[in-house]
Structure 1
Amino acid sequence: MGVAMEETFTVLATDRGVRRIGFPGEDWGAGESPVGESPAGERTVGDQARRHVAEVEKQLEEYLAGQRQVFTVPVDLVDVTTPFRRRVLQALAQIPYGQTITYAQLAEAAGNPRAVRAVASACASNPLPILYPCHRVIRSDGSFGEYRGGRELKATLLEMERGGAGD
């Protein structure tokens, strides 16, 4: 059981932890590079940053192979996101493996039940997809909604987590 990925994720890390994960083929945008940078912009490709990259890559491989449900790699969200978005990420981290919640339920869990659109925006800009499992968030009508990695990947990840993906 697991998900085969033809390409790998792109990881940005500092000595403090993983800052960003990009999906295969994702455009990082102007001014962003998948090498370690600190919030102040200085390049930090030190040994600790390299260890964080290696560890998250290992943990992602284990997850995609169906061998990992919880991620333990340190993250570095300093200056990466707003306080509200950090609350959304914390709420995402509480969604159990193989289960889904709605954007409205996530807004409630993040402390602002009326902020459904803001929650959807926070999910869309989630710097650490899969570690903070925004793929587990669905619309109130049960449809998937959008996903930065694509709807097909979202469906595949949910199917894998529910035990439905087999080799």
Structure 2
Amino acid sequence: MSWIDLVGLPLLIRIFLVVLFPFSAMDKIFNWEGALKQANSSFLPGGPVLLVLGMSLELLGPACILAGWHDRLAAFLLGLYCVATALLYHNFWAYPDFWTRGDSAARAHFWDFLKNFCVAGGMLLLAFGTQLAPARAVLTHPLSSTPVYTPAGTAPALPPGDTP
């Protein structure tokens, strides 16, 4: 396997998956009042504590994932965090203006809700996913598919006869 398969692509994928978290933490730091208002908007008590815990996870989780230090745990916790924040703070169903033309708070929350679940899926793939396919296998056979229920520890490889 080449450097791109062993280091380059896995690092790039991880950067893409975690890049938004540190910026989200910085936004909470610089916009503390707005972040605190949102943290206090759910039924959970302790908005400031929740906010500090969330910011800590948003800063430490990506660092662990990029460094490869307890990365599965960090990815799992970030995935749970994304699901929890979607359900607690992006409850689009509570707004009556979903079908209203123009700006809609419900639709804004709906897209954030879906984004959180998409990021959670990426985090859970890091935590539970199988190995990456070699870049050459993907590039030379772009129409091939990976079975949905691939056993853990296996990855799509080059077809028999192809050499890396």
**Fold similarity call, TM over 0.5:** no
**TM-score, scaled to structure 2:** 0.32
Larger Rg: 2
**TM-score, scaled to structure 1:** 0.31
